[in-house]
Chains A and B, each alone.
Chain A
Amino acid sequence: MITKNADNPTKTTEVEQNTLLEIKNLKKYFPIKHGILQRTVGHIKAVDDISLTVKKGETLGLVGESGCGKSTIGRTIIRLYEPTEGEITFKNQNISHMKERELRQDVRKNIQMIFQDPFASLNPRKTLRMILGEPLKIHYNHSRKKQEEIIGELLEKVGLSSKFLNRYPHEFSGGQRQRIGIARVLTLNPDLVIADEAVSALDVSIQAQITNLMQDLQAELGLTYIFISHDLSVVRHISDRVGIMYLGKLMELGTKADLFQEPLHPYSQALLSAVPTPKKQKTVQRERILLKGDIPSPANPPKGCVFHTRCPHVMDRCKQEVPSLLQVKKDHFVACHLY
């Protein structure tokens, strides 16, 4: 079962051009309720009109600061949240308003998620056998022996031992727990894995182990990742294409090389320049663009371009018109009036 994708070309040889997931004008608004009648007084626009595609076998990185909606996108794709508007197409199937039962039959198996906090995402009262066996029990009807075999194999694959089957989560360190989280995702052999801040809670040396593991598994099983993180260096390391988000909007989307060497959007430029880097030699002295002020609240985003309140290149037009995401060159999109 695990070797289902073994004959597929791996990511390094040739990226298959077919689209695995397509999002069109996706919106997710959370109502703000107020008062004794719980009337809706406004909306938090967590994800506001985002369109993008994910190709088979690639890693799409989504970065942004807290409150930019990157996690909401992940959770909406996996349908933990009901989208407010827009379309999600997975494997040529519109799943944006699919019923729960239909979802479970076909889609749930194929889109899986790795969560941020390895301490909160595993049930402390269940052994690894139960944690990893549960998805198999729901979706397949394997014999107990077969199930045990699959789980054992998976544990070895993520660098743990099949002897651990009777242990509880508290017996493992953060890094090991994240490996368990990855093993759980792989039990169903998904096509698309959404990793929401999968390495952010880990120490740097462990972070490198998990990042390497994720890359190895991708090459071996032909997985597609949506890698959501606030850490630009990790995103750069693992992704093929990267999208930069700000206040629910996609500001820039491009290949890793384009985006990191030549960021076009003023926000991308500021964000990249703000990352402190351990420099071995002070060769690349990037000029730091200091942004003034804080991120506005997503409940009351600025009119026009959402970034205009902090943008160093702001023009009058930015305060009125919302810029749309336009292609500036092949595979490089920017939402800014400058271009």
Chain B
Amino acid sequence: MLMSALLEVKNLKTHFFKKKQVIPAVDGMDLTIKKGETVALVGESGSGKSMTSLSIMRLVPSPGGKIVDGQIMYDGKDLLTISENDMVDIRGNDISMIFQEPMTSLNPVLTIGDQITETLIAHQKLSQREAKKRAVELLEMVGFSRAKAILNDYPHRLSGGMRQRVMIAIAMSCNPKLLIADEPTTALDVTIQAQILDLMKDLSNKFDTSILLITHDLGVVSEVADRVIVMYCGQVVEESSVNDIFENALHPYTQGLINSVPSIDDDIDRLESIEGNVPTPDQFPTGCRFAPRCPKAFDKCSLHMPTLKKIDERSIRCFLYEEEQS
């Protein structure tokens, strides 16, 4: 496991500072991604999943946000200590990212060709002509039949699904070892979503690329991920393989999350819902952050913060399972 770990995030803390108030968006995050593996980061809005990915890319909005603690080990280097210039080399070449909004993440006044070749020329030092040739290959790889014509088109001429393919082509252009996909299919229709997920699976198999998939859709998770990390209020609450999490989720939050999704295959009379709302960071409870909404909470939960415990191949942050072990 140590050998093949591609990226290791240890105790990452990304905080925001607003009028002397500290907002812990990511609060002690641990994460390991192995080579060729697809890891899904799941959580509701405000759980800190997008901030984790931006922290890995060192793109935390600043001023306002800051990585205050932790290590991000990639290829023997700590990404948090290297210079900005070295980081620029890593972005695109080693780690690249796809964003949620295919409508807004492409530049509307540049042609598709310009935007793909820009990356290639900057990172791979290709000439204009080579870059263009490669761009056509890339567009063909992501399933465009008339790739040459697309090169001269502007983004507004493409549909949402096509734009997301272009984004994937740009992200894959320098053969990255890690692809971070932040809600890549959320804005797309289901039939198009299925196409994009298939494409991502294919590419990951073909080039042995690791994927960090950030999503709130548990359906998507079960389709593509190998391992799942569930986040709640800036912390990891459970980590395990995909099969384990859907067959036997341990943390009450994960259980609630899975049960609140209606199934398309069978009928249930009533959905189980989680009471209450996700607390905002300035209202985080002392003790376990899920305690106020947890159906199984007991006295200890509201007083102390449980630690992330390893049980076999899985990790869990809950007192229910700590008792059993000791």
Partner of B260, one of A204, A275, A288: A204
Nearest-CB distance from A298 to chain B (Å)?
A: 13
Let me know if A279 is at the binding interface, CB within 8 A. yes
Let me know if B299 is at the binding interface, CB within 8 A. no
Let me know if B272 is at the binding interface, CB within 8 A. yes
Partner of B246, one of A66, A211, A236, A279: A279
Partner of A205, one of B44, B193, B222, B264: B44
Closest to A272 in B: B264
Closest to A238 in B: B262
CB-defined contacts of A272 to chain B, threshold 8 Å: 264
Nearest-CB distance from A89 to chain B (Å)?
A: 31
Closest to B264 in A: A233
Let me know if A176 is at the binding interface, CB within 8 A. yes
Contact code string A171-213 (vs B, CB < 8 Å = 1, else 0): 0010110000000000000000000000000011111110110
Let me know if B5 is at the binding interface, CB within 8 A. no
- B interface residues, Cβ below 8 angstroms from A: 44-45, 159, 161-162, 189-195, 197-198, 216-223, 246-247, 256-265, 267-268, 270-275, 277-278
Contact, CB under 8 Å: B191 / A65? yes
- How far apart sit A180 and B275, CA to CA, in the bound complex (Å)? 17
Closest to B198 in A: A290
Contact, CB under 8 Å: A203 / B45? yes
Nearest-CB distance from B65 to chain A (Å)?
A: 22
Chain A interface SS verdict (over half): helix
- How far apart sit A236 and B260, CA to CA, in the bound complex (Å)? 14
Contact, CB under 8 Å: A233 / B262? yes
CB-defined contacts of A203 to chain B, threshold 8 Å: 44-45, 216, 278
Interface size on A, residues (CB 8 A): 42
A237-B268, A270-B191 known; A208 vs B260 contact (CB < 8 Å): yes
CB-defined contacts of B222 to chain A, threshold 8 Å: 276-279
Partner of A212, one of B159, B257, B267, B271: B271
- How far apart sit A176 and B220, CA to CA, in the bound complex (Å)? 27
List which A207-260 residues lie within 8 A (CB) of chain B.
207-209, 211-212, 215, 230, 232-234, 236-237, 256, 260
Contact, CB under 8 Å: A230 / B190? yes
CB-defined contacts of B159 to chain A, threshold 8 Å: 294-295
CB-defined contacts of B217 to chain A, threshold 8 Å: 276
Closest to A237 in B: B262
Contact, CB under 8 Å: A280 / B247? yes
Let me know if A13 is at the binding interface, CB within 8 A. no
Closest to B195 in A: A290
Top 9 closest pairs, chain A to chain B, by CB: A276-B219, A208-B260, A208-B273, A237-B262, A65-B189, A205-B274, A274-B194, A203-B44, A278-B218
Let me know if A271 is at the binding interface, CB within 8 A. yes
- How far apart sit A288 and B267, CA to CA, in the bound complex (Å)? 21
Let me know if A281 is at the binding interface, CB within 8 A. yes
CB-defined contacts of B221 to chain A, threshold 8 Å: 278
CB-defined contacts of B246 to chain A, threshold 8 Å: 278-280
Listed by A's residue number, 18 A-B pairs whose Cβ atoms lie within 8 Å are A66-B189, A203-B45, A203-B216, A204-B216, A204-B218, A204-B261, A205-B256, A205-B273, A208-B259, A208-B273, A209-B274, A271-B191, A290-B194, A291-B191, A291-B194, A294-B159, A294-B161, A295-B159
Contact, CB under 8 Å: A204 / B257? yes
Nearest-CB distance from A178 to chain B (Å)?
A: 12
Nearest-CB distance from A169 to chain B (Å)?
A: 15
Nearest-CB distance from B212 to chain A (Å)?
A: 18
CB-defined contacts of A173 to chain B, threshold 8 Å: 277-278
Contact, CB under 8 Å: B220 / A233? no
Let me know if A284 is at the binding interface, CB within 8 A. yes
Contact, CB under 8 Å: A277 / B191? no
Nearest-CB distance from A329 to chain B (Å)?
A: 20
CB-defined contacts of B216 to chain A, threshold 8 Å: 203-204
Nearest-CB distance from A268 to chain B (Å)?
A: 11
- How far apart sit A230 and B264, CA to CA, in the bound complex (Å)? 13
CB-defined contacts of B44 to chain A, threshold 8 Å: 203-206
Using A65-B192, A276-B222, A291-B191 as known contacts, list a sample of 16 further A-B pairs with CB atoms less than 8 Å apart, ordered by residue number in A. Answer: A66-B189, A173-B277, A205-B260, A205-B278, A206-B277, A211-B262, A212-B271, A233-B262, A237-B268, A237-B271, A276-B223, A277-B263, A277-B265, A278-B221, A278-B263, A280-B246
- How far apart sit A215 and B190, CA to CA, in the bound complex (Å)? 25
CB-defined contacts of A286 to chain B, threshold 8 Å: 265
Contact, CB under 8 Å: B262 / A278? no
CB-defined contacts of A275 to chain B, threshold 8 Å: 190, 219, 264
Contact, CB under 8 Å: A278 / B273? no
Contact, CB under 8 Å: A288 / B263? no
CB-defined contacts of B247 to chain A, threshold 8 Å: 280-281
A204-B44, A207-B260, A211-B262 known; A277 vs B274 contact (CB < 8 Å): no
Closest to B218 in A: A278
